[in-house]
Amino acid sequence: MTDTRHLVVVGNGMVGHRLVSALRDRDERGEWRITVLGEETRQAYDRVALSSYVDGRSEEELRLAELVDPLVDLRLGDPAVTIDRERRTVRTASGAALTYDALVLATGSVPFVPPVPGKDLPNCFVYRTLDDLDAIKEAAAAAVARPGPGRRSAVVVGGGLLGLEAARAMRLLGLSPQVVEIAPRLMPAQVDEGGGALLRELVTGQDIAVRTGVAVWGIREERDRLVATLSDEVELDADLVVFSAGIRAQDALARSCDLRVGERGGVLVDAACRTHDENIWAIGECAALEGRTYGLVAPGYAMAEVVADRLLGGQATMTPEELDMSTKLKLLGVEVASFGDAHAATEGALEVVVNDPVAGTYSKIVVSDDAQTLLGGVLVGDASKYSTLRPLVGAKLPADPVAMIAPGGVELGADVLPDSAQICSCNAVTKGTLKNAIHAEGCRTVPDLKACTKAGTTCGSCVPLLKKMLVDEGVEVSKAICEHFTYSRAELFEIVASTGIRTFTELVQKHGTGRGCDLCKPAVASVLASLGNGHIHEGEQATLQDTNDHFLANMQRNGTYSVVPRIPGGEVTPEGLIVIGEVARDFGLYTKITGGQRIDLFGARVEQLPAIWKRLVDAGFESGHAYGKSLRTVKSCVGSSWCRYGVQDSVGMAVLLELRYRGLRSPHKLKSGVSGCARECAEARSKDFGVIATEKGWNLYVGGNGGATPKHAQLIVQDVDQETLIRTIDRFLMFYIRTADRLQRTAPWLEGLEGGLDHLREVIVDDSLGICADLDEAMTRHVETYEDEWRGVLEDPKKLERYVSFVNDPATPDPTISFVTERGQQVPAPRPGDPEPVLIGVPAFGRQEVQR
Amino acid sequence: MTTTDERPAMETRDTDLRWETACPLERLQPERGVAALFGDEQVAIFRTHGGELYALGNVDPRSGAAVLSRGIVGDRGGEPTVASPVYKESFSLVDGRCLDAPGVSVPVHPVRLHDGLVQIGLR
């Protein structure tokens, strides 16, 4: 290993991290050992998603994959302080001297803070690192907690992308943000005057005050608060000031060793990202490629890839496409996109604008002087056309330019794009690659394409185009439930809800064909039950119920059933436990504690079910709906009643929620959990809806599940009171029930929802569709009409009649059912053809005893 | 198969059959089966929405559980079916063949309506 060379990477941000992982991936012979010098003491994290830290994402979730590798020496909190280019040596803050064969500067950028008096006062912050956000959170919490009238406020200096993110963070932290931007419009780098005007209107509508065309002249302290004086002599009171007015390349180290820097800062590099010193490279925000710096992560990643290739003897260079500054984002619920020559800087460029102030949309495309070639564009309010327009930059226009952006104009699909066009610019996936994935790799769905090509996995803006491509290539799967209905479950729900049809027969005669099957009947049964249609075994409904709903218990592999009484929140009295134990003993049932904090009793024959239920119901239990596509359990930790750390009564909340939503039929099962503090012992974030207590109230997370594809639930509202929490869950559940596909759980439903979590929040918190009153009413009706399904059977002789083994011999047990004893309890006897048990290292002793 | 309007059923020509009564017709809810036991033979009996009666062996061949009577009754391309409640394969009510697994089938029993009683023909 004497010929191993030493690479020193200065900086452990996203781009430095990408370089190290790219080099380690490709350097199969171990040519390079790598030392990384990081200024922050934290592991590398996703700085692009920094603002989500305020939404409740943790540092761990933001962290990039850890580089554990014998050839990588990661030194955190030990920044480089000097570079001796002649001796090829870097000296660090701790005094270490490292000799390098190659040195890569990935020092990133520093926030630009205008040199105004008072900029360093307490409660003045920048918005760049997790440490900055921790400090901001703390100051905001202190401000909010301070007694006195009026809402606490923050001045955000800078109205660009970062400034608007900071403003949103301030709002989330409970402050009133006021944005001050020196340019005449918001997001001046991305949008033009017309787009900026609309953007301002949309942002102001969300309680964010905006002042453009003014600068901050100074900041002073006054009566424990700050006062910002603006260039128009307006004075703004504030509890916090956040500077987010842009960034400057962090090139101090380069300057100190006389590396050449650009006129506007940044270490000058060539197309291979090499400085004029052949042993030193620069990548990311600190590099000035042909004199220009790039403040986005995608060009930084491309530079890291180029350098990794070069270090291994390759000849890669940066291509103009990799320096694409196109962006699409959703800020404060407002979509903004900008691509190509957005400001029509090309000579002779023509601008085509469609401005619809009523709909709140602004679209502009920039075309060449002969109106033949697309050069760029700006979209505000509705950026859905971004995914088709951006790949067309530089290509011949496929249609009349006005029609391409006008509402009701030409609908552009992937079919107009050449195979070389990049559909996913984040991961550089071309149309040709996606076509290959569909035809050669057999991808059939958007998740297939994501897994196979990485397209759509970063910003997600190309997902609509992926869907269109699947249709164009002829593989989009029909949403029809089965051969009897051409409708999806959501469409059937709408039909049933709006027509008042309440029987399957009427529905299939008017809107379908044939007599249904095991796909459509349970789906219709669920829709009817969600709309409140009495006992699920009433009349014809009984014939629609799936296996488990058919006998209100869970069928096991030998045709017996398991019985699960409801134990709300997992809270049970000793008397209750004794009754369950006695019932299990008397009926010879196998017992097991479930993952949802209740008790499952296995091995009941169909004719035993009513007697078992009667014993349980008489003791105050009811059906736990373990058999239904409905609410299962609300799991809880013990919470503030007992726990030394609990901040709220999580058991009480879990009981309340379980009793509210019990029996609610839904497209798939629903699980929930309530944790009494941030330690999250109830694992609420692995649930369809999870609640976590905070000092101030409750956080609600939605769309999680365990199972084969685990998903963490996402934060939808924060620090809300009980009333708001319940109202939000009510609406979430009802909206899901109305719009999800058959057997689609909340996580894939949310993933497939156009606009995702933001859209969901708009619908159920801001009532953007005007349906919340309906949703609320539907849930009220459910709560008011809930009845125990077991009791419903016990009290109706007609329904009880079904619970026999044989219609001509009601008391004789099914002779095919037999049990053996295992670990002291009965389990189904093996049948011929059952897989042989696998022995794990120990011989099986003892004998299995067959019972009849 | 037979119909509930008491037309003579074809199967009655088979003189080797022993007819056993399962239940009164009104005990059979359309599209919801029942199980009956004759000796050690289990039969699943169905009445369709249109009123026809069918009887199959009650044992699901894949799981071995005697539960076909608890499946959902419907049709596939017009052919009346029951879906096994265990692993959801569909079986033709007409000839007992599994529509989802070639070569698999369940026995079919003659069925008739006699004086308002549902009767199964056993050999």
pLDDT along chain A (852 residues), means of 10: 84 93 90 93 85 83 84 93 94 94 94 91 92 93 84 91 89 91 89 88 87 92 90 91 91 93 91 94 93 85 92 86 74 82 86 85 90 89 83 82 78 73 76 89 81 74 77 74 89 90 94 94 94 89 94 95 97 97 97 96 97 97 96 96 94 97 96 95 96 95 88 93 97 95 90 85 92 94 94 95 94 93 92 59 40 42
Number of domains present in the structure of chain A: 4
pLDDT of residue A844: 39
CA B19, B20, B26, B29 torsion-angle sign: negative
Q: Which chain B residues are within 8 Å of A801, Cβ to Cβ?
A: 27
Assess whether A220 and A276 both reside in one domain: no
CB contact under 8 A, B65 and A558: yes
CB contact under 8 A, A515 and B31: yes
Three-state secondary structure of A631-697 = EEEEEECCHHHCCCCCCCCHHHHHHHHHHHHCCCECCCCEEEEEECCCCCCCCHHHCCEEEEECCCC
State which residue of chain B sits closest to A482, comparing Cα positions: B76
Task: State how far residue A551 is from chain B, nearest Cα, in angstroms.
Answer: 9
For B73, the closest of A543, A546, A808 (CB atoms) is A543
Distance CA A116, CA A226 (A): 14
- The answer to whether A697 touches A721, Cβ cutoff 8 Å, is yes
- The answer to whether B21 touches B119, Cβ cutoff 8 Å, is yes
For A515, the closest of B22, B34, B49 (CB atoms) is B49
Assess whether A783 and A673 both reside in one domain: yes
- Tell whether A796 is within 8 A of chain B (Cβ): no
Distance CA A650, CA A639 (A): 5
Assess whether A196 and A258 both reside in one domain: no
Assess whether A694 and A754 both reside in one domain: yes
- The answer to whether B36 touches A808, Cβ cutoff 8 Å, is yes
Q: Which chain B residues are within 8 Å of A561, Cβ to Cβ?
A: none
Assess whether A134 and A90 both reside in one domain: no
CB contact under 8 A, A484 and B77: no
CB atoms within 10 A of CB A184: 12
pLDDT of residue B123: 83
Assess whether A197 and A306 both reside in one domain: no
CB contact under 8 A, A559 and B27: no
CB contact under 8 A, A517 and B76: yes
User: Count of CB contacts below 8 A, A vs B?
Assistant: 110
Tell which A residues from 497 to 516 touch B, by Cβ distance under 8 Å: 505, 514-516
Assess whether A103 and A174 both reside in one domain: no
Assess whether A132 and A217 both reside in one domain: yes
CATH number, domain containing residue A239: 3.50.50.60
Task: State how far residue A805 is from chain B, nearest Cα, in angstroms.
Answer: 7
Assess whether A638 and A783 both reside in one domain: yes
Q: Which chain A residues are within 8 Å of B88, Cβ to Cβ?
A: 518
Indicate which of A481, A503, A547, A555 best probes the interface with B, i.e. most B CBs within 10 Å of its own CB: A547
CB contact under 8 A, A808 and B85: no
What residues of chain B have any CB closer than 8 angstroms to a CB in chain A? 20-23, 27, 29-32, 34-38, 40, 42, 45, 48-49, 59, 63-67, 70-78, 80-81, 83, 85-86, 88, 90
pLDDT of residue A748: 87
Q: Which chain A residues are within 8 Å of B38, Cβ to Cβ?
A: 808
Chosen domain end from A270, A302, A322: A322
CB contact under 8 A, B78 and A558: no
Q: Which chain A residues are within 8 Å of B66, Cβ to Cβ?
A: 559, 814, 816-817
- The answer to whether A623 touches A634, Cβ cutoff 8 Å, is no
pLDDT of residue A460: 66
Q: Which chain A residues are within 8 Å of B76, Cβ to Cβ?
A: 483, 517
CB contact under 8 A, A815 and B40: yes
In the structure encoding, which two tokens stand for residue B35, read together? 């199980």
- The answer to whether A299 touches A266, Cβ cutoff 8 Å, is no
pLDDT of residue A447: 74
For B85, the closest of A514, A550, A809 (CB atoms) is A550
Between B39 and A756, name the one with better pLDDT: B39
Assess whether A664 and A531 both reside in one domain: no
Assess whether A74 and A157 both reside in one domain: no
Residue A721 belongs to what domain range? 630-787
Assess if residue A802 is contained within a domain.
Answer: no
Assess if residue A355 is contained within a domain.
Answer: no
Assess if residue A346 is contained within a domain.
Answer: no
- Tell whether A150 is within 8 A of chain B (Cβ): no
Indicate which of B19, B20, B37 best probes the interface with A, i.e. most A CBs within 10 Å of its own CB: B37
pLDDT of residue B6: 44
Q: Which chain B residues are within 8 Å of A515, Cβ to Cβ?
A: 31, 48-49, 73-75, 80
- Tell whether A522 is within 8 A of chain B (Cβ): yes
Q: What burial letters (b/e) apply to B5-28, b meaning 16+ CB within 10 Å?
A: eeeebebeeeeebeebebbebebb
Q: Locate tokens 């260079």: which residue?
A: A317
Which of A141, A517, A737, A28 lies closest to B77, judged by CA?
A517
Chosen domain end from A739, A754, A787: A787
- Tell whether A818 is within 8 A of chain B (Cβ): no
Distance CA A668, CA A671 (A): 10
For A129, phi and psi rounded to 5 degrees? -125, 170
Reported ipTM: the value is 0.91
CB contact under 8 A, B49 and A807: no
- The answer to whether A449 touches A438, Cβ cutoff 8 Å, is yes
In the structure encoding, which two tokens stand for residue A518, read together? 């095991």
Task: State how far residue A510 is from chain B, nearest Cα, in angstroms.
Answer: 16
- Tell whether A835 is within 8 A of chain B (Cβ): no
Assess if residue A494 is contained within a domain.
Answer: yes
State which residue of chain B sits closest to A805, comparing Cα positions: B35
State which residue of chain A sits closest to B32, comparing Cα positions: A543
- Tell whether A800 is within 8 A of chain B (Cβ): no
Task: State how far residue B102 is from chain A, nearest Cα, in angstroms.
Answer: 19
In the structure encoding, which two tokens stand for residue B21, read together? 């009564």
Chosen domain end from A322, A342, A374: A322
Task: State how far residue A667 is from chain B, nearest Cα, in angstroms.
Answer: 18
Tell which A residues from 198 to 237 touch B, by Cβ distance under 8 Å: none
Q: Which chain A residues are within 8 Å of B43, Cβ to Cβ?
A: none
- Tell whether A558 is within 8 A of chain B (Cβ): yes
Which of A125, A241, A131 lies closest to A180, judged by CA?
A241
CB contact under 8 A, A484 and B74: yes
Q: Which chain A residues are within 8 Å of B86, Cβ to Cβ?
A: 547, 555, 557, 559
Task: Show Cβ contacts of residue A435 under 8 Å, excluding neighbours closer than 6 positions.
Answer: A419, A469, A473
For B83, the closest of A518, A809, A831 (CB atoms) is A518
Q: Which chain B residues are within 8 Å of A808, Cβ to Cβ?
A: 20-23, 36-38
For A807, the closest of B22, B49, B65 (CB atoms) is B22
Q: Which chain A residues are within 8 Å of B20, Cβ to Cβ?
A: 808
CB contact under 8 A, B74 and A517: yes
Report the interhelical angle of A722-739 vs A489-499 (nearest 10°): 100
Q: Which chain A residues are within 8 Å of B40, Cβ to Cβ?
A: 815
CB contact under 8 A, A547 and B36: no
In the structure encoding, which two tokens stand for residue A705, read together? 């599940």
Assess if residue A101 is contained within a domain.
Answer: yes
Assess if residue A461 is contained within a domain.
Answer: no
- Tell whether A546 is within 8 A of chain B (Cβ): yes
- B2-6+29-122: CATH architecture: 3-layer Sandwich (2.102)
Assess whether A253 and A234 both reside in one domain: no
- Tell whether A559 is within 8 A of chain B (Cβ): yes
